[in-house]
Amino acid sequence: MDRNKICEAMYALPGGVVVKRRKSQLRAAVLFIAGVALVVVNNMYGAELTNNMRSAIVFIGGLLILSGMVMAAIQLFGSGGVPFHKDKHCYLVFEELYFDRGVRADVVQSVEDGAVDRLLGLARANVPALTVALYRTPDNSFAAMQAFEYADLEYKPLTRLNIVDKA
């Protein structure tokens, strides 16, 4: 089961419906700025604070600064982005759905028909005997899915990759 192959198939769709996009740097920037603000507040009001409070503020501020820097570095220099649906203006949600072998026919039929709602309504299992790799929009109008069966210590495809666009 290779998520990259599913993503590459979506990126190759005609019209560029799904593109690779990096998530926003806003969260990393907010963490960094909050950490800097705490350190500045500590320096401005340090005389009125106890030593324990000053230490706690500097520690929390330093952690926020470090967290913001690490998050920004990972997003900037990381290997890739995530699938983004241009028409719906949303990131695609990835799910691995696990099922028992007893519902194999229903799972295969749902994937081949592109019935995301029916697939999500099936009884799930905690053991990945059958697995469906599913990328979808939050409203299920676009989905890319493929069913796999766990056998001989590897995932073997049960179905072809099915991409459904109800737009």
Q: pLDDT confidence of 17, banded at 50, 70, 90?
A: confident
* Sign of the dihedral defined by the CA atoms of residues 155, 85, 13, 106, in that order: positive
Cα gap 1→135, rounded to integer Å: 13
Position 1 scores a pLDDT of 64
46, pLDDT greater than 80: no
Position 15 scores a pLDDT of 84
Position 166 scores a pLDDT of 82
Structure tokens at 64: 């926020």
Cα gap 57→36, rounded to integer Å: 11
Average pLDDT over residues 128-137: 92
Terminal Cα distance for the chain, rounded: 27
Please name the residue ranges forming H helices in the chain: 3-11, 26-44, 51-77, 104-113, 116-121
- Residue partners of 164: CB distance under 8 A and separation at least 6: 114, 116, 142, 143, 144, 145
CB 11 within 8 A of CB 92: no
14, pLDDT greater than 70: yes
The residue among 67 and 79 whose pLDDT is bigger is 67
Average pLDDT over residues 41-57: 88
- C-alpha distance from residue 93 to each of 77, 83, 96, 107, 155 (Å): 22, 9, 10, 19, 21
pTM: 0.72
Q: pLDDT confidence of 167, banded at 50, 70, 90?
A: low
